Amino acid sequence: MASHKPAGSSSTPTLIDVARVAGVSPITVSRALGRPEVVADKTRRRVLEAVRATGYVPNLAAGSLASSRSRLVAIMLPTIANSIFSDTVQALTERLAEAGYQTLLGLTGYEAEQEEALLSALLGRRPDGIVLTGTEHTLESRQRLARVGIPLVEAWDLCDQPLDMLVGFSHEAVGQAVADYLLNKGYRRVSVITLDDPRGIRRSESLAQALAQQGVAAVAIERLVAPATLATGREGLSRLLVQDKAGEVVVCSSDTIAQGVLAEAASRQIAVPSELAVMGFGDLSSAAHTHPALSTVRVDGLRIGRSIAEALLARFADPSLARKPLRLDTGFEVIERGTT
């Protein structure tokens, strides 16, 4: 479709221009852009094509004032340095986009104080919904979120007193399950490499407690600075080896760290798993293709993302659902492969 803006014209395309090009009414254009779920797919495609042809830019600020909706969902992530959250973000953003919502990502760096600063900036934009990774927040963040009353989902975690909706899994249960698995395999000298993020630390502490209950003490727990990288994993294993505390198996707080451990072991000609077993977390797409293939804990990131989106969309459509907010345990699965 060719541009319908007159040559040399400096006027800004309007919604009426889009309606004229698409052959529909202005109200239909408004609905197609603001509430796409109520417009037929064929009509919406015509409108979007007319938007591209005319160069029209919707005035989202004006629309939000008129409808009290920004059609924006803010997502707080610890990091994008590795892909552990990618499935969740992909499923979440795609489903929201289908419903006409845009997403804005904020990186907290695993710091509750940074999350607080981001929330201060984002709340001024009046997002329709907020997604937080984890359940550990500053008191100021908790009080502010309670005051604004914006639909909120805490993800990738479970807790007894969520702020609103909750979609995730128990990190304590992960630690227990990994301990049970390793003990059943006959491992007794277990070491840990974890980032200094709260969820990784909780998994590690739960693992150590579960081992202790069976009379097995963790050999060592190495805490390293986020984010997770291959270099972090290599450094972690090097530290354990220098202290002679690697044990029989190294449990890592992410697959990325575990792959770094495998790389360092290979460089030192340490055979995996006969001399040193390795366990990851997250089941990244690369985990099944390392050599040996990485044993890990699988988390259903796609389900988490879709569930968050559906919970928010349901709340947007029916605010009365706040009286009975969602509490969803998406679970996890221990995956045995060649490294154990």
Radius of gyration (Cα) for the chain, nearest Å? 24
Q: What percent of the chain has pLDDT over 70?
A: 93
One-letter amino acid at 24 equals V
pLDDT digits (tens, 9 = 90+) for 213-232: 999 999 999 999 988 899 99
pLDDT for 87 equals 93
Nearest to 92 by CA among 303, 306, 300, 330: 306
pLDDT at 74 over 70: yes
pLDDT at 124 over 90: no
pLDDT digits (tens, 9 = 90+) for 131-186: 999 999 999 899 889 888 899 999 999 999 999 999 999 999 999 999 999 999 99
According to the per-residue pLDDT averaged within each range, which of 113-117, 277-281, 316-320 is highest? 277-281
Claim: this prediction has a pTM higher than 0.75 = yes
pLDDT at 6 over 50: no
Preceding peptide of 273 cis, ω within 30°: yes
pLDDT for 290 equals 96
pLDDT for 9 equals 43
pLDDT digits (tens, 9 = 90+) for 128-139: 999 999 999 999
Higher pLDDT, 123 or 104: 104
pLDDT at 67 over 80: no
Q: Which residues contact 169 (CB under 8 A, 6 or more apart)?
A: 156, 157, 158, 299, 329, 330, 331, 332
Q: Indicate the range of 40-49, 116-125, 164-173, 227-236 predicted with least confidence.
A: 116-125
Distance separating alpha carbons of residues 180 and 79, to the nearest angstrom: 30
* Pair type for strands 332-335 and 296-299: antiparallel
Cα angle 182, 256, 199; round to 5: 70
What domains can you pick out in the chain, each with its CATH number? 15-58 (1.10.260), 70-170+301-333 (3.40.50.2300), 171-298 (3.40.50.2300)
Distance separating alpha carbons of residues 11 and 181, to the nearest angstrom: 68
